[in-house]
Amino acid sequence: MSVTKLGKFAVIGLSAAWIAGCSTTATDTDSSTVAEDANTTEQANDTTENSDQAFGAGQDDAMTSVIVDENASNNNGMDSLAGVETVFYFDFDKSIVRPESREALAKHAEYLVGNPDARVVLEGHADERGTREYNMALGERRAKAISRYLTIQGVAASQIETVSFGEEVPVAFGHDSNAWQLNRRVEVRYEK
């Protein structure tokens, strides 16, 4: 057999294997996800009489968001965090946790220690001054500073994720010290 024929067989065989590998079939996991989505939609449709609910419309006005019942007593113990600050500010070019932030962070730590299944994302931000790369690193240092504070309080590192947005997600769009102060922050977001 010549080398060219062998090469052609190899190409045909690899192509057939690639095509077979790209085909998809429904699995038990796929159908259970569809069933769960259908149950969520049914539950949402059953409770439309309550006026304290939030809805979202997706394609063809389909129900896409989770219903939020403000009066529900079971919100995973998040009641203990009602009114607790979730945004922590930093000084210019610093990643040191301010003393006035410590009380609120201690409450977040207490909640996380008491709820080991809870997960938190710490989103670091910076103002517009400095290069994009520097601000990404500064946002990361700020998020890590909050993370270290929480772990010192007893929170498991596996419960904490840090991410930096640098200067990319400002909350104030001015070019003055007030706007810059609002943008130098770490936001605490709980994963549901």
DSSP 50-110: -SS----B-GGG-B-S----TT-S-STTGGGGTT---EEE--TT--PPPGGGHHHHHHHHH
**How confident is the model over 28-85, as pLDDT tens digits?**
444 433 344 444 444 444 444 444 433 333 444 444 333 333 443 345 567 778 888 9
CA distances from 146 to 56, 85, 180 (A): 33, 13, 20
Contact 165, 123 (CB under 8 A): yes
**What is the share, in percent, of the chain residues with pLDDT greater than 90?**
55
The whole-number pLDDT of residue 14 equals 58
Please classify residue 181 by burial: count the beta carbons closer than 10 Å to its beta carbon, then call 0-12 exposed, 13-18 middle and 19+ buried. middle
For the chain, residues classed under CATH 3.30.1330.60 are 78-191
For domain 78-191, give the CATH superfamily. OmpA-like domain (3.30.1330.60)
Would you give the end-to-end CA distance of the chain in angstroms? 62
For 114-150, how does the pLDDT look when each residue is reduced to its tens digit (9 = 90+)?
A: 999 999 999 999 999 999 999 999 999 999 999 999 9
Spatial distance between the Cα atoms of 29 and 40, rounded to a whole number of angstroms: 17
Q: Please give the pLDDT value at position 21.
A: 54
Look at the block and give the residue holding tokens 């095509």.
19
Strands 185-191 and 160-166: unpaired
Q: Of residues 68 and 186, which shows the higher confidence score?
A: 186
